Structure 1
Amino acid sequence: MSDKTRGGQFIVKETKCEDVFTPEDFNEEQLMMRDSVKEFVDKEIWPNKDRFEKKDYALTEETMRKAGDLGFLSVAVPEAYGGMGMGFVNTVLVCDYISGATGSFSTAFGAHTGIGTMPITLYGTEEQKQKYVPKLATGEWFGAYCLTEPGAGSDANSGKTKAILSEDGKQYSITGGKMWISNAGFCSLFIVFARIGDDKNITGFIVENDPSNGITMGEEEHKLGIRASSTRQVFFADTKVPVENMLSERGNGFKIAMNALNVGRIKLAAACLDAQRRVTTGAVKYANERVQFNTPIAQFGAIRYKLAEMATSCYAGESATYRAAKDIEDRISTRESEGTLHQEAELKGVEEFAIECSILKVAVSEDVQNCADEGIQIFGGMGFSEDTPMESAWRDARIARIYEGTNEINRMLSVGMLIKKAFKGHVDLLGPATKVQEELMGIPSFDTPDYSELFAEEKEMLVKLKKAFLMVAGGAVQKYGPDLEGHQQLLIAAADILIEIYMAESTLLRTEKLAKKIGEAQVQEQIAMAKLYLYKAVDVVTQKGKESVISFAEGDEQRMMLMGLRRFTKYTNMPNIIGLRELITTKLVTENEYCF
């Protein structure tokens, strides 16, 4: 495998803009798919928002069936099992644009196509796939995923649900309770995780939903958001499951769960994007229409600040999500070309970019919450009312920071996985970290660099930010070694640096590629967003870097590292941030929508 296809390599290598995929690179098929999904949402979901908010679970099920009729549930399913067999970018694209109108439908769609169908597609036997996947692909059946228990949330492998093999060896008897099960109210089958005997790891099972087989449910949960997403407790009492319905091997359940979450994380990031676009567009339209002091509020600096920041975070999220999606797709293709079976290639392709999946999950879920929060603020008192879409967007966004692994877990995972890759030799962190240490001991260069090319200083700044991460991570590993995972606040601070680097770099690369394609003059607002995002990223690295260094270094070492941090976060030419925001907002207000 070439280094280009390695996950996590971005932190130690320069990526060229030609090597990233961007939304501007969608081919004709992808554009048609995007437009058909948007048409479906605008016709079937957006006009019925109030019904979703009033917990119309039947409407969610009915709309899911319509999505099945149009093939949207089958995009990622191989053709051999009744699906479209499209690539990973298409899967992410559909997830993006089908999720913007309401979190209720987005959750039902994501739970079914992801954790409800994918474990069978990727881990099932040929017989299991032939039996179940075609029904799931069309929406004839819906799937649900039973992992979480009252005592097993983030610690997923600690579940108490038991599976006992019958004396004749023909079936398992499953007993236990699961909670927060999306689609439980209308699903036809469950992916259930249970422990056999005293096994260290849980095991996965495909369980058909038959109430006469010891399966009962709690009432629908009353939730802050995603109100029409069916969420119930599911109880299994001596539920009989044929041995041939074990998913993968005994004890492989934890691995299935973790790999399902990797895919779920990038798809969750995608599912937040169109919500951001719609919230930003709604806020721009309102700001243009709302007049105070004889002036549309879109002309007030305080509002313009918000609109620019909302659009910038959305643009950054798009840039990073589609970059990672194509990297995963390329990795899958490479493995298939080497003779790996599709399901193994897809598993390994996503697993390779698990770091990026965690980064995206955290960054985009927090951005969509901030975007909705500012949307409410721009609407003022009206934003707090159920009569405007901002209130429900804010409530729906809140769950995104919790499911698919909390953001705290994902922050620690991103750095932890990167360090593990370094120890395995998959990413060379040690060499570059050692060079950074040597640079700290040396005399800095006082040459005046040439910044005449687009993003010349910004690219240099990215190189420096990567050095800041290597300094912090390298120092922390030296200090604590294998005990580093016990220092959660330090890991989270390092993760914030890693996240900002990936998001800022993705945004710069997308914009540079677009500028080369259509000319700098045509993308002044995108250039402004890339510069604005990087400026804010530098602030985060400065703050989190200082917090980290002070926590593990002392005396001369601390002073040297803090001096290094100042060097690694120093601009030669500081951008005019207010000017950048003005440029972005002028475009938004003129176009009366999110237009990038």
Structure 2
Amino acid sequence: MATASELIGMDFNLSEEHEAVQLAARDFAQNELLPGVIERDNAQTFDPSLRQRMGELGFLGMMVPPEYGGGGMDTLAYVIAMEEISKVDASASVMMSVNNSLVCWGLEAFGNESQKQKYLTRLASGEILGAFCLSEPEAGSDATSQQTLAEDKGDYYLLNGTKNWITNGATASVCLVIAQTYPEKRHKGINCLIVEKGMPGFSVGKKEDKMGIRASDTHSLMFSDVQVPKENRIGPDGFGFSFAMSTLNGGRIGIAAQALGIAAGAYELALQYAQERKAFGKAIFDHQAIQFKLADMATRLEAARLLVYKAARLKDQGKDYVQAAAMAKLYASDIAMWVTTEAVQIHGGYGYVKEYHVERLMRDAKITQIYEGTSEIQKLVIARGLTK
């Protein structure tokens, strides 16, 4: 992990390319995602035309090389876009995060050429959507306790089990499924299999009725004697756990950016409201109590943004970014909860109703402390890195 001295002299200004990405993401979020975001949250549905539009704009395969249909951008460009989209609609950004950070990156980094040609090109362009299937009823933070079994049957695996809390569960055409092949080997006996929608025995369970990111497509997935060809295994036999952990390390940067965006969106709404709302004869922004809240919000947001950008830059430089990603996710998710709560408080009674958006951002913020590694898991990751 880079030390503070190594980071002195870092250019904090965005390049023209990064500024263009930021502008494009902001324009899409404000002009296309914002109209109808409350209605989508209420209905718990995401407009397929918006997903198609995200693919057309390149938001679903940002870091994938152009030869596989992606944008060929760096991680920093990706987190910049994630922040802007998350300011408005975290349901859209989690779909984007899973497809980019977990599915596309996992295939690009560890898939073979045949798998990349068959799946990655279509995923990167947004033609199809992907899902990452790790969590189970009894395997959340303890990812080694996989009960989903992938029995080796020679030229195929026989897949049986259930996966929970799967983002893009019903809409994904391709699922990366983590399953146990050799229980006696524990984490060294786990594989990752590419499972396609429509394979006999693969079914989608109930949709979760969630507190936040309600327009996001979250389902349980069931596998009953699904025959998965050996050619659909990613990496060597027993590589699945290493694949999952490596993929999640990068995914945490995306979720940190999502948390940052949720917080930034709430802050911007609170700042605007504070300048418009009057109490005791003047704008509430002119009251010191509100000024102090907004000053604290702005400061913590800037700190979170620097942590997220640092993790992204380390990843782009090919350096060890595991601890930095954990720090970014831990801090950004914590300030997302704090900032959104303060934004509701600044809005007063108006903050408690859907029309003003901040109550939805507050509900959306909570999941960032839970998925892709809880805050407690991030602290373990950080602590393990302290003695390296």
Q: Same fold (TM over 0.5)?
A: yes
Task: Supply the AA of the counterpart residue of 2:255.
Answer: L
Q: Show CA shifts across 1:508-561 (max 9, x none).
A: xxxxxxxxxxxxxxxxxxxxxxxxxxxxxxxxxxxxxxxxxxxxxxxxxxxxxx
Counterpart Cα distance in 2 of 1:119 and 1:328: 14
Q: Which residue of 1 aligns with 2:329?
A: 361
Matches within 5 A, 1:215-294: 215-294=202-281
Q: Which residue of 2 aligns with 1:39?
A: 27
Contact (CA 8 Å) 1:170, 1:242: kept in 2 or not? yes
Deviation at 1:252, TM superposition (A): 1.0
Contact (CA 8 Å) 1:64, 1:109: kept in 2 or not? no
Deviation at 1:122, TM superposition (A): 1.0
Contact (CA 8 Å) 1:21, 1:326: kept in 2 or not? no
**Alignment equivalent of 2:163, drawn from 167, 172, 178:** 178
SS in 1 for 2:192: strand
Counterpart Cα distance in 1 of 2:362 and 2:335: 11
SS in 2 for 1:71: coil
Q: Which residue of 2 aligns with 1:197?
A: 182
Deviation at 1:278, TM superposition (A): 2.1
Deviation at 1:304, TM superposition (A): 1.0
Deviation at 1:55, TM superposition (A): 3.1
SS in 1 for 2:372: coil
Deviation at 1:29, TM superposition (A): 1.4
Residues 1:154 and 2:141 aligned together: yes
Q: Which structure's CA Rg is the greater one?
A: 1
Q: Show CA shifts across 1:352-404 (max 9, x none).
A: 11011101100011011100000000011111111211100000000000011
**Alignment equivalent of 1:63, drawn from 34, 50, 55:** 50
Matches within 5 A, 1:54-453: 54-59=42-47, 61-166=48-153, 169-198=154-183, 199-201=185-187, 202-210=190-198, 213-330=200-317, 332=318, 349=319, 352-419=320-387, 421=388
Structure 1 residues 56 and 63: alpha-carbon distance in aligned structure 2, compared to 1, 3 A threshold: farther
Counterpart Cα distance in 1 of 2:78 and 2:214: 25
Deviation at 1:16, TM superposition (A): 5.3
Task: Supply the AA of the counterpart residue of 1:257.
Answer: A
Deviation at 1:92, TM superposition (A): 2.1
Contact (CA 8 Å) 2:61, 2:104: kept in 1 or not? no
SS in 1 for 2:163: strand
Counterpart Cα distance in 1 of 2:267 and 2:246: 33
Unaligned runs of 5+ in 1: 1-6, 333-348, 422-596
Task: Supply the AA of the counterpart residue of 2:351.
Answer: G
TM-score (norm 2): 0.96
Where is the strand percentage greater, Structure 1 or Structure 2? 2
Q: Show CA shifts across 1:561-595 (max 9, x none).
A: xxxxxxxxxxxxxxxxxxxxxxxxxxxxxxxxxxx
Identity %: 34
Counterpart Cα distance in 2 of 1:67 and 1:128: 23
Structure 1 residues 158 and 16: alpha-carbon distance in aligned structure 2, compared to 1, 3 A threshold: closer
Which is worse superposed, 30-39 or 390-399?
30-39
Counterpart Cα distance in 2 of 1:106 and 1:311: 22
Which is worse superposed, 409-418 or 133-142?
409-418
Structure 1 residues 145 and 16: alpha-carbon distance in aligned structure 2, compared to 1, 3 A threshold: closer
Counterpart Cα distance in 2 of 1:270 and 1:260: 16
Where is the helix percentage greater, Structure 1 or Structure 2? 1
Contact (CA 8 Å) 1:289, 1:296: kept in 2 or not? yes
Counterpart Cα distance in 2 of 1:21 and 1:213: 53
SS in 2 for 1:77: coil
SS in 2 for 1:101: coil
